Amino acid sequence: MLTKCKALVLVLTFAVTCMAGSPDVMLQGFHWTSHTANWWTVLDDLSDQMKADGYSLIWLPPSSDAASNEGYLPRELQNFNSQYGSAGQLQDLLNVLNGKGIGPIADIVVNHRVGCTDFADFCNPAWPTWYVTADDEWPGCPVGCKSGNHDSGERYDAARDLDHHLPQLQDDIVSWLNQLKSMGYKGWRYDLVKGFAPWAVQLYNNRTGPAISIGEFFDGDAGAVENWVNQAGNSTAFDFPLRFILIDAFHNNNYGALQSAGLIGRQPAKAVTFLENHDTEEQRGGAYVQSFPRHHLEAGYAYILTHPGVPCVFWTHAYPWGGFPDVSDKIRELIAIRKSQGIHATSSVSVRAADGSKYAAIVDGSVAVKVGWGDWSPSGDWSLASSGTNYAVWVAGGGDGGDGGDGGDGGDATTTIRVHYDTGWGNSISVRGNVAPLSWQSGQAATWTTGNVWVWQTDAIPAGQGFEFKSLINDATWETGGNHQGSGGQTIDIYPNF
Ligand SMILES: [Ca+2]
Ligand SMILES: [Ca+2]
């Protein structure tokens, strides 16, 4: 695929410097119940690890006083004591993050606000009631209490919608944003941008110059998200469409849909990709949408961390918490590959396969990625750099067969296959595959462990050696679907169907 940048070079006769896209990798620095911890201190303690892991941006939860624990019903905007910690702890954290080169992004909730003791008695800063839109649901509002203007976007019933048409309100929001900047925030994540007009985001960005702006336009329609990005003009948006396409592709073997998918398939420079956030994660129990399937997280991250856009890793995936699956080592491997190969927000993608079993692409000529259970590998001089459940990633050059990306050198390594399946009492799981000691003719017995996880291990597969395998019940009933792919020295979790 010819990138726009390359096309320009071909057309123009004078020298053109192609601007690389953002090299940033972003961390969502919280989950839904982070407020139950002393969160600013938790982040402070992990900041060295975040830097080592390669994050250059971190999105923090709303840091002003609010009527809800999570911060999304803002009350006293200029009071920075919140459920996440004190104003002093927040300032310490912002200083530490900036000192380590990790840019803090503030969660900007300006569609709505609540009063200090009632519906609209706004304090700190004190705002008049006529900042509230004419069509807000505020009950018992006396005549003339609200603005004469209707909402510039959708109405939100849990708080008072603000009238962004008013120059006075615009000035007050800009003052608050500049206060956040003076504290050390570097960028804005705008909450609920369907709730007010995109020209307001454009205006606030023009007047405050954030290093990055991201809109939460919660919609699976790539055309609708692109339309918002075009109207705002100076903001990126979360790539919700890509998230939904990835889930569909993995669930329904619809890997063809991963070609030019989502906002990154249209305007990669304006897309922030992600798999999960505080609204979609498992502990929300499907409050808005289904959570990303656990057993597809590795492949999902393999896709977004090798593809254009600015990838945003969800907290619980980067730093395991609460018994949710630990994919943190794979994420570290994939970020390291992205950085070592210089993949950025506008890297060019050359799709090499997209069918019912796999999607494969070469990015910037230096990283090859395959997701799905079908076979594929790049031809030529490539080294396997990372692999796991239904994915593999190679880097160009050094074609020695790869080392599995985990420092293996072909020497001793323990390969572990973990089969997650409840066979029922009296039955067992075995594994067959194409590399000794596995074979396709007879199975190796796996051992039952707590949680109905059947484990098989060997030290006999050289580190980095690729292989395929499947699981069976009672060494007789094969799991459905294609072969799994593994690499010597890995721990591989599978969730078979029979
Ligand atoms: Ca409202
Ligand atoms: Ca609104």
pLDDT digits (tens, 9 = 90+) for 400-428: 443 443 333 334 578 889 888 888 878 89
pLDDT of residue 483: 87
pLDDT for 149 beyond 80: yes
Percent of the chain with pLDDT over 90: 79
Main-chain phi, psi angles of 177, to 5 degrees: -60, -40
Could you give the CA distance from residue 262 to residue 86 in angstroms, rounded to a whole number?
39
Q: How far is the CA of 497 from the centre of ligand 2 (A)?
A: 45
The DSSP secondary structure of 432-455, one letter per residue, reads EESSTT--SSSPEEPEEETTTEEE
Q: What is the mean pLDDT of residues 86-111?
A: 98
How far is Cα 460 from Cα 211, in angstroms, rounded to an integer?
50
Q: pLDDT digit string (tens) for 178-236? A: 999 999 999 999 999 999 999 999 999 999 999 999 999 999 999 999 999 999 999 99
Q: Answer whether 189's CB lies under 8 Å from 58's CB.
A: no
pLDDT value, residue 402:
39
Report residue 263 as tokens. Answer: 């906002």
Report the pLDDT value the prediction gives residue 20, as an integer from 0 to 100.
82
CA of 234 to the centre of ligand 1 (A): 26
- Residue 386 CA to ligand 1 centre (angstroms): 48
State the ligand closest to the CA atom of 132.
1
Looking at all shown ligands, the one closest to residue 150's CA atom is: 2
Q: Tell me, what's the pLDDT at 487?
A: 85
Q: How much is the average pLDDT of 421-444?
A: 89
In this structure, which amino acid lies at residue 133? T
Residue 101 CB partners (closer than 8 Å, separation 6+): 51, 56
| Residue 216 falls in the annotated catalytic set | yes
Q: Residues 303-349: pLDDT tens digits?
A: 999 999 999 999 999 999 888 889 999 999 999 999 999 999 999 99
pLDDT of 16: 37
Q: Who's near 289: CB < 8 A, 6+ residues apart?
A: 244, 279, 280
- Is the pLDDT reported for residue 10 higher than 60? no
User: What pLDDT is stored for residue 14 in this prediction?
Assistant: 34
- Which of 180-194, 238-252, 357-371, 436-450 bottoms out in mean pLDDT, i.e. has the lowest? 436-450
Interval between CA 135 and ligand 2 midpoint (Å):
9
For the cut 70, the answer to whether the pLDDT of residue 11 exceeds it is no
CA distance 357 to 310: 27
Catalytic option among 24, 53, 65, 216: 216
Q: Annotated catalytic residue: which of 107, 136, 191, 281?
A: 191
Q: How far does the centroid of ligand 1 lie from the alpha carbon of residue 113, in Å? A: 8
484 bridge partner residues: 469
Q: How confident is the model at residue 490 (pLDDT cuts 50, 70, 90)?
A: confident
Residues 6+ apart with CB under 8 A from 330: 298, 301, 302, 386, 388
Instruction: State the pTM of this model.
Output: 0.79
- pLDDT computed for residue 96 by the predictor: 98
Q: Are 198 and 190 in contact (CB under 8 A)?
A: no
HSE value, Cβ hemisphere, 13 Å, CA-based, for 317: 31
Q: Report pLDDT for 301.
A: 98
Q: Residue 412's pLDDT is what?
A: 55
- How much distance in Å is there from the Cα of 437 to the middle of ligand 1? 64
Specify which residues 53 forms β-bridges with. Answer: none
- The ligand minimizing its distance to the Cα of 120 is 1
Spatial contact of 307 and 347, defined as CB atoms under 8 Å apart:
yes
Q: pLDDT tens-digit profile of 62-79?
A: 999 999 999 999 999 999
Q: Is the peptide bond before 125 cis (omega within 30 degrees of 0)?
A: yes
Q: Mean per-residue pLDDT for 377-386?
A: 96
Looking at 8-65, which runs of residues are DSSP E strands? Answer: 26-28, 57-59
Residues 6+ apart with CB under 8 A from 29: 43, 58, 59, 60, 61, 315
Task: Identify the band that residue 364 occupies on the pLDDT scale cut at 50, 70 and 90.
Answer: very high
Q: Name the pairing type of β-strands 466-473 and 477-478.
A: antiparallel
Buried b (16+ CB within 10 A) or exposed e, 385-414: bbbbbbbbbbbbeeeeebbbbbebeeeebe
Q: Does the annotation mark 191 as catalytic? A: yes
The full DSSP string for 452-466 is TEEEEEES-SPTT-E
- What mean pLDDT is predicted for residues 115-137? 97
**Tokens, residue 78:** 């200029």
Q: Please give the C-alpha separations between residue 408 and each of 399, 403, 461, in angstroms, as whole numbers.
A: 15, 5, 11
Domains (ranges, CATH) in the chain?
Answer: 24-340 (3.20.20.80), 349-396 (2.60.40.1180), 415-494 (2.60.40.10)
pLDDT at 481: 84
Mean pLDDT of the region 440-455 = 85
Mean pLDDT of the chain: 92
Which one, of 368, 361, 345, lies nearest residue 267 by Cα?
345
Contacts 24+ apart (CB under 8 A), 391-395: 391/298, 391/299, 391/302, 391/303, 392/302, 392/466, 392/485, 392/487, 393/302, 393/306, 393/334, 393/337, 393/367, 393/368, 393/369, 394/367, 394/368, 394/369, 395/337, 395/340, 395/341, 395/366, 395/367, 395/368
Residue-level pLDDT at 494: 85
* Residue 122 CA, ligand 1 centroid: distance in Å: 14
Q: Round to whole Å and give the CA distance between 132 and 121.
A: 11
Tokens describing residue 416:
């572990």
Give Cα separations from 276 to 11, 313, 317 (angstroms).
40, 8, 9
For the CA of 159, the nearest ligand: 1
What pLDDT shows up at residue 399? 60
Ligand 2 centroid–CA 153 distance in Å is 5
Ligand positioned closest to the Cα atom of 156: 1
The tens digit of pLDDT for each residue in 32-54 reads: 999 999 999 999 999 999 999 99
